[in-house]
Homo-oligomer: A and B are copies of this chain.
Amino acid sequence: MIHFTSDYTEGAAPEILAALSEINLHQYSGYGTDPLCEEAKKLISYEIESENADIHFFVGGTQCNMTFIAASLRPHEAVVAVDTGHIAVHETGAVESTGHKVLTIPAADGKMRLEDLEMIYNLHRDEHMVKPRLIYLSQTTELGTVYQQKELNQIADFAHNHGMLLYIDGARLGSALTAEKSDCTLAHLAKVADAFSIGGTKNGMLFGEALVIVNDALKPDFRYFIKQKGGLLAKGWLLGLQFQVMFRDGLYYRLAEHANEQSRKIYAVLEECRIPMFAEAVSNQLFPIFPWSFIMELAQNFSFEIIEKIGADKAVIRLVTSWATADHDVEILCTWLRKFQVE
């Protein structure tokens, strides 16, 4: 069985483990107050081309999202997300568990549209309704698509012209930063967003998400929130060390680029076979639509997620490649996909 289920089925890039072994018996002060975290923050500051951001490290994405959101909102304020948004569907109500409503609007190819954002903003006009205050986007989106700089600028402008905040969930940011059709850069994100995360778990780290807080108003006392939500890792240097390895010589980008490349190879075959796609193929997630019978066959040798049924006899599946996806496995998959055409 070969996994195309997700990009977190393996451990970590060998460079990570090597670095870990090297510093293992060194003594560090706890909770992220160590020099490794400091160094990692410097490297990230360099990448985002700003020395004014506050950077914090988390073990996981749900924790990062909920901690930032709960810290940024007053009790009556709500988040706006697309209805496929990770916080809206797949975090077991983590945001609501901190007391805040997540308002949802439809998505086009996984992306938020300005007109829907305007509409939901305008609907919420008095104290009998929550106050939309924070816009939540994912880059890449849940459907593997990527916001272009122009699109982010428009949403950011809307947010800031209406007293709202923009937060970008970068669980798969590496893939967006290195996708062929993308002009996404860390420096641009740091210009438009009030805060965003840089995902490591899905890009070759054992675990780890970096939260970059740009907006000064959201910075004070932030470590209190991390501790309160249970996210302050005792051996915090494990996070610093990994992000250091990722950004000291571009490993983060190389790993993401590998995932994208493997995906492009698979997509080339899908195109060749004229398989319809549920969403545009841009990054390391592909959403082809197959007849149910073929999906059943495929499932005997590959593991992947079935996203949703389309009509009586078709379905969308998700194929995910990662930093660790081997050429050999991609070739086997492509051979199988080509079989489909022949049939």
| Closest chain B residue, CB of each to CB of A222 | B127
Given contacts A93-B101, A100-B93, A230-B231, contact A17 B24 (CB under 8 A): yes
* In the complex, chain A residues 1-20 whose Cβ is within 8 Å of any chain B Cβ: 3, 5-6, 8-12, 14, 17, 20
0/1 string, A13-47, CB within 8 A of B gives 1 = 01001001101111111110000000000000000
Binds B, one of A71-79, A275-283, A311-319: A71-79
Query: In the complex, are the beta carbons of B223 and A127 less than 8 A apart?
Result: yes
Query: In the complex, are the beta carbons of A93 and B228 less than 8 A apart?
Result: yes
A234 sits at the interface (CB 8 A)? yes
* In the complex, chain A residues 155-192 whose Cβ is within 8 Å of any chain B Cβ: none
Query: In the complex, are the beta carbons of B207 and A60 less than 8 A apart?
Result: no
Binds B, one of A128-136, A140-148, A335-343: A128-136
Query: In the complex, are the beta carbons of A62 and B232 less than 8 A apart?
Result: yes
Given contacts A224-B127, A225-B75, contact A21 B29 (CB under 8 A): no
With a cutoff of 8 Å between Cβ atoms, the chain B residues found around residue A99 in the complex are: 93, 96-99
* In the complex, chain A residues 181-239 whose Cβ is within 8 Å of any chain B Cβ: 201-202, 206-207, 221, 223-235, 238
Binds B, one of A84-92, A110-118, A251-259, A260-268: A84-92
Given contacts A93-B101, A223-B127, A231-B63, contact A9 B27 (CB under 8 A): yes
Q: B20, B96, B207, B221: which contacts A234 (Cβ < 8 A)?
A: B207
Listed residue (A75, A225, A226) with the most chain B CB atoms within 10 angstroms of its CB: A75
Query: In the complex, are the beta carbons of B10 and A230 less than 8 A apart?
Result: no
Given contacts A201-B235, A230-B66, A231-B63, contact A24 B11 (CB under 8 A): yes
| Closest chain B residue, CB of each to CB of A128 | B90
Query: In the complex, are the beta carbons of B76 and A224 less than 8 A apart?
Result: yes
Query: In the complex, are the beta carbons of B230 and A130 less than 8 A apart?
Result: no
A270 sits at the interface (CB 8 A)? no
With a cutoff of 8 Å between Cβ atoms, the chain B residues found around residue A152 in the complex are: none
With a cutoff of 8 Å between Cβ atoms, the chain B residues found around residue A76 in the complex are: 92-93, 221, 224-225, 228
A324 sits at the interface (CB 8 A)? yes
Query: In the complex, are the beta carbons of B70 and A221 less than 8 A apart?
Result: no
Query: In the complex, are the beta carbons of B230 and A127 less than 8 A apart?
Result: no
With a cutoff of 8 Å between Cβ atoms, the chain B residues found around residue A93 in the complex are: 76, 78, 99-101, 130, 228
Listed residue (A67, A89, A93, A98) with the most chain B CB atoms within 10 angstroms of its CB: A93
Query: In the complex, are the beta carbons of A24 and B10 less than 8 A apart?
Result: yes
With a cutoff of 8 Å between Cβ atoms, the chain B residues found around residue A229 in the complex are: 94, 97, 229-230
With a cutoff of 8 Å between Cβ atoms, the chain B residues found around residue A324 in the complex are: 25
Query: In the complex, are the beta carbons of A92 and B228 less than 8 A apart?
Result: yes
Expressed in whole angstroms, the minimum distance between the Cβ of A24 and any Cβ of chain B is: 4
Query: In the complex, are the beta carbons of B59 and A59 less than 8 A apart?
Result: yes
With a cutoff of 8 Å between Cβ atoms, the chain B residues found around residue A90 in the complex are: 128-129
With a cutoff of 8 Å between Cβ atoms, the chain B residues found around residue A26 in the complex are: 10-11
Given contacts A59-B233, A230-B229, contact A5 B24 (CB under 8 A): no
List 16 additional A-B contacts (Cβ < 8 Å) besides A67-B230, A92-B227.
A8-B30, A9-B29, A9-B30, A10-B27, A17-B20, A60-B233, A63-B231, A76-B93, A76-B221, A90-B129, A91-B227, A92-B130, A93-B99, A93-B101, A97-B99, A202-B234
